[in-house]
Amino acid sequence: MDTKELLKKVRKIEIKTRRLSDHIFGGEYHSTFKGRGMTFSEVRQYQFGDDVRTIDWNVTARYNEPHVKVFEEERELTMILMVDVSGSELFGTSSGFKKEVLTEIAATLAFSALQNNDKIGLVLFASKVELYIPPKKGRFHVLRIIRELLEYEPDTKGTDIEEALRFLSSVTKKKAIVFMLSDFMAGDYRHTLKIAANKHDITGIRVYDQREEEIPSLGLVPMEDAETGEVQYINTASKNMRRAYKAHYLERVDYFKESFSKSGAGIIDTRVDESYVKKLLGYFKRRG
């Protein structure tokens, strides 16, 4: 992808996702993810409706009229976006690739955090952690994250969620808001997730395609494993084969949901042809 085309794509995603974050998600994000507490801001004259418990009696006695203490939320939060860039994210049918949806969701979340003056960091992972961008504030920082999401080419194609979570725990010492975006077609990460979720506020966003749920009967067709490159001829007309495929898929989905639920982490499921906007809004409202 040349520079001109890349900048055009970045701009297109910024316009779409920033509009969503400005008009829809900014307030919901703020309500859902609270700051570390309340900090003293100023003292002002008492106004009708003020809580009498906030009256500053020393200042009230000095000026012989009621004054109250004003507190503000201490927001300084950090969001970490952990995005799966393995080979399976390049799968897609009629509605586009999973990677495109992952990128849009990540950009929307990043601009929502930007609007609330929070720091945003990025972890791209496949079989290993491919790229880490430390948390910072600012529009140009968010645009850099979008550029990496669009053009980064991983060295590996597999998926190791456990390794990504270990990396998160090693580089993020303070509590962070963590969104992990993947199809979660992997296992053996439950223990590591539980450790990370004890420290951070983690949400798993599973993006999937309808054709991953069930294979249609198309006869003998060649199928390539996007993460290993291995090609096999599969008889999709076989009911047993289709049943086994679906059972394997559902096993991975159940593992994801059970692991995140038991760890106290959040869960969002969205199909590539569904509105991720509704899914995110619904999640924020339930949590808020």
pLDDT at residue 205, as a whole number: 97
Kindly state the average pLDDT of the residues 184-212. Answer: 92
Kindly state the average pLDDT of the residues 200-229. Answer: 79
pLDDT at residue 235, as a whole number: 75
Q: Using 50, 70 and 90 to split pLDDT, how confident is the model at 29?
A: low
Kindly state the average pLDDT of the residues 223-227. Answer: 65
Strand partners, 82: 123, 180
Write the secondary structure of the chain as one string of H (helix), E (strand) and C (coil): CCHHHHHHHHHHHHHHHHHHHHHHHHHHHHHHCCCCEEEEEEEEECCCCCCHHHECHHHHHHHCCCEEEEEEEECCCEEEEEEECCHHHHCEECCEEHHHHHHHHHHHHHHHHHHCCCEEEEEEECCCEEEEEEEECCHHHHHHHHHHHHHCCCCCCCCCHHHHHHHHHHHCCCCCEEEEEECCCCCCCHHHHHHHHHHCEEEEEEEECHHHHCCCCCCEEEEECCCCCCEEEEECCCHHHHHHHHHHHHHHHHHHHHHHHHCCCEEEEEECCCCHHHHHHHHHHHHC
Tell me the pLDDT tens digit for each residue of 52-61: 888 899 888 9
Domains, in order of start, for the chain: 3-31+75-287 (3.40.50.410), 37-74 (no CATH)
Q: Chain-wide mean pLDDT for the chain?
A: 84
Q: Using 50, 70 and 90 to split pLDDT, how confident is the model at 241?
A: confident
Q: Using 50, 70 and 90 to split pLDDT, how confident is the model at 225?
A: low
Would residue 43 be called left, alpha or beta, if left means φ above 0 and alpha means ψ between -120 and 50 degrees?
Answer: beta
Q: Considering only residues 232 and 128, tell me which one the structure prediction assigns the higher pLDDT.
A: 128
Q: Using 50, 70 and 90 to split pLDDT, how confident is the model at 6?
A: low
* pLDDT beyond 70 at 26: no
Tell me the pLDDT tens digit for each residue of 61-106: 988 899 888 765 555 789 999 999 988 766 656 667 888 889 989 9
What pTM was estimated for this model as a whole? 0.77
Lowest mean pLDDT among 28-32, 187-191, 265-269: 28-32
Comparing C-alpha atoms, which of 211, 226, 223, 217 is closest to residue 272?
A: 211
Kindly state the average pLDDT of the residues 179-192. Answer: 93
pLDDT at residue 246, as a whole number: 85
